[in-house]
Structures are given as structure tokens and as C-alpha cells.
Structure 1
Amino acid sequence: MYPVFIRDVPAHRLVGLAHLGPYPQIGAVFEKLGQRLGDAAAWPAVRGMVMVSYSDPETTPEAELQSFAAAMLDPAHPCPEGLEERSLAAGRYAVLELTGPFEELPRAWGWLYGEGIPGLGEAAAPAPCFEVYLSDPSTTAPGDLRTDLYAPLA
């Protein structure tokens, strides 16, 4: 149903803001992140925008979902004031390429874990997954948004 493949991913340095609550509400956190990156003149050092998910929405109440709105930042650039630094682990990931509105993300994640990873003959690892946003939602129509979903493999 979706294109999915395996990719070896290097570790990435992230800077961002933690979010607690429903995943679809993280947009406001990304707005704050963007403002802080702009205030610090850090945008030229940004290599991508990412949401890291630390909780399983199938087993965690919405109000307790933990995530991190982040920018992949060039290692030579200092962490802007007011942002937290974290790392994204290197490893093997199943990657699903999604084109479409953000409202499609829960369905795509469900398919990736339920059919995509088993269809590759793999098993998911009990580690955080993440989304990489390849389009700017302020300038891209919802149906044309591109997002890569990364699920760690055992």
C-alpha cells in the first residue's frame, strides 16, 4: 500500500522542544522551535525537521504521549538558547515514504508496523521512531506534503 524499504541511518544531532500530549498537537511546538531557530540565526545550519515519538499511541493515553519536535543541526553550530539537545540513534530502519496530508500519518504508521515491517521479513525494535518532514507545510498543499517515517528494526 505504501513504498517501504530498509535504510542504514547514521546518528544525528537534534535540537528541539519536548511535547507531551496528542501527536497532532505538536504543530504549535514546531512553531516555537522555528521561532527560536530564527532568533538564533540557526536556520542555515538546519539539515532537516524531525518529530521523534517515544510513546506507542496504541497503548499510551493521548495526554501521556511523549514526543520531541526537532531540527537536525550541523554539529559545528551551538545549540540555540532555550532548546534541548538530543541524539537520534544510528541503526537499521524501515522507511515508509508518504505523500499526503499529515492526517494520513496514523494510518501510515499502523500499516508500517502491521504490514510493512513484517512484509520485509523484519521485526520492529523497541526504540523511538521518527518522522522526517521533506516539505514545508506553509508552502505545500496538504496532498503534496512528503514525509518519511522511520521505524527501528531489531
Structure 2
Amino acid sequence: MLAGYMTPGAAICNAAARRRCRARPATVPRAVDASGSWGIVGRPAAVGTTMYPVEIRKMSPLTRFGLPHRGPYPGIGATFLRLGHLFDASGLPGQVVLRAGVYHDAPARVAPDRMRSHACCGFGAEIWMPLAFDRIVIEGGRSAVMTYSGPYSGLAAAWAWLYAESLPAGESPAAAPPHEIYRSLFPAIPVETQLTEVVVPLTP
């Protein structure tokens, strides 16, 4: 799934409050299209024996702003860096309070060079954004949430373990894109103790 990308959002922590920008219409991530883009086909084999905390939560809807990434998911770090540079250049009001990666396509069904994702940020107050950014609305609902602690290079194994072994009995992934929420970022937090939440929407 995901492995080895550089720290998401590392360059987007210092957006200044200098001007308001025009809004872009919201985009609701669509996980299933005519080609059946999302949906786990079987479950990948677990890697190793490491276990991570998993709980069922009722997630609130989220609105995020970001840039689309097309291609292998490990390359999304470059899009996060571009996002940071654009935020700084735009002089956005408010302060970035959350970074997230939204992954629209299942690697089991979509070729790596065609996989779609978004590098996103959230703000603590409602703001106007330049047209250069997508406005992504993540629908809420029941979700399996895995808390991963460690470097991003270990996320691939954590994703595999989640789908292979840790979804509660009777639960299945919904036709909605999973996403990662980056709760702490390097260099403020040492890479070994960074916290990432992997959120997998579940069927009702």
C-alpha cells in the first residue's frame, strides 16, 4: 500500500494570515467508479507479527484542502511538499491544524501509475482557498481506526496487518476511500514516535 514517502506536510506549518482567497467547489471523494476502483480484493498477507491499536469510531465529516496526486502512493510526499510551498506563497489565513492523505484507488485493482490520492491540510477556522487547491469533503460514519506509531516507512506493513488480521469480526470496508491522519510530524516529534491514524470506513 504505502511506504517510504517523505514526511507529509513538513513544509506547511507556517502559513501566514495575510489575505483571503476565492473558494473552490467541494470535491467528495468517489471511491467506486465504473472500473471498480476501490474495494479490497481479498486481504493482503500480514507482514511480521507487529500489532497496533484498532478501534471502531463514529467519525465526523471532514473538509480538507489539498492537491491531487496521481501515481504510486509512495510518491505522495513530493505532492505534500508542493502543497506546503503553495500554502506559503498564498499567504493563507489561519493555521494548519491537521494533515491527511486520502487514497482513492485500490492497489489490487488499479495500476500504480493510475492510482489517485490527495495530499490535504485542515485549518482551525473556515477560510477561503485559492482555485489551485481542491476542497475535499470526507464523509463521516463508522470506521476502523488504527493508531500507528513510528516512521512512515513502516506504514505499508501496518496497512497489510490491518486488512489481513485486525478488522473486527463481521466488519467489512465500505466503498469509500481510506485515509491517513498525521497527528504528529517531524521535526517537532522524533520520527520513531510519530503518530498516524489509518481510517478505514466500514459498511453500515
TM, length-normalised to structure 1: 0.90
The Cα of 1:142 is off from its aligned counterpart by 2.5
Question: Does residue 1:73 correspond to 2:123, yes or no?
Answer: yes
Contact residue 13 and residue 74 of structure 1 kept, 8 A:
no
Count of matched residue pairs: 153
Q: CA shift at 1:44, angstroms?
A: 3.0
- Separation in 1, partners of 2:99, 2:130: 15
| Secondary structure of 2:94's aligned partner | helix
Aligned pairs for 1:28-39 (under 5 A) are: 28-39=78-89
C-alpha distance in 1, partners of 2:193/2:133?
30
Find out whether 1:92 has 2:135 as its counterpart: no
Q: What's 1:19 paired with? A: 69
In the TM superposition, what are the counterparts of 1:1-154 in structure 2 within 5 Å? 1-42=51-92, 44-74=94-124, 76-117=126-167, 119-154=168-203
Letter of the aligned partner of 1:68 in structure 2?
Answer: H
Instruction: Note closer, same or farther for the CA distance 1:140–1:82 as it changes in structure 2 (3 Å cut).
Output: same
**Does the Cα contact within 8 Å between 1:101 and 1:142 map onto a contact in 2?**
yes
Write the distance in 1 (CA, Å) between the matches of 2:91 and 2:76.
23
User: Helix, strand or coil for the counterpart of 1:44?
Assistant: coil
In terms of fraction of residues, the more helix-rich structure is 1
Consecutive unaligned residues in structure 1, runs of 5 or more:
none
In 2, Cα distance between equivalents of 1:81 and 1:137: 29
Rate the CA distance shift 1:49–1:120 in 2: closer, same or farther, 3 A. Answer: farther
Please list the CA deviations of residues 4-48 of structure 1 after superposition, one character each: whole Å capped at 9, or x if unmatched: 001111111111000011111111110111122222333734331
Name the SS of the counterpart of 2:117 in structure 1: strand
Percent of aligned pairs with the same amino acid: 32
Structure 2: 5+ residue stretches without partners:
1-50
Secondary structure of residue in 2 paired with 1:106:
helix
Residues 120 and 71 (structure 1), Cα distance of their counterparts in 2 relative to 1, 3 Å cut: farther
For 1:151, give the aligned amino acid: V
Larger strand proportion, structure 1 or 2?
Answer: 1
RMSD between superposed Cα atoms in Å: 1.7
Tell me the equivalent position of 2:22. none
1:75 Cα deviation from its structure 2 partner: 5.7
CA contact (8 A) 2:94 2:125 kept: no
SS, match of residue 58 in structure 1: coil
The one-character-per-residue Cα deviations of 1:74-133 (angstroms, maximum 9, x if unpaired) are 46200134211121111111000000111111111111122111x353111121000001
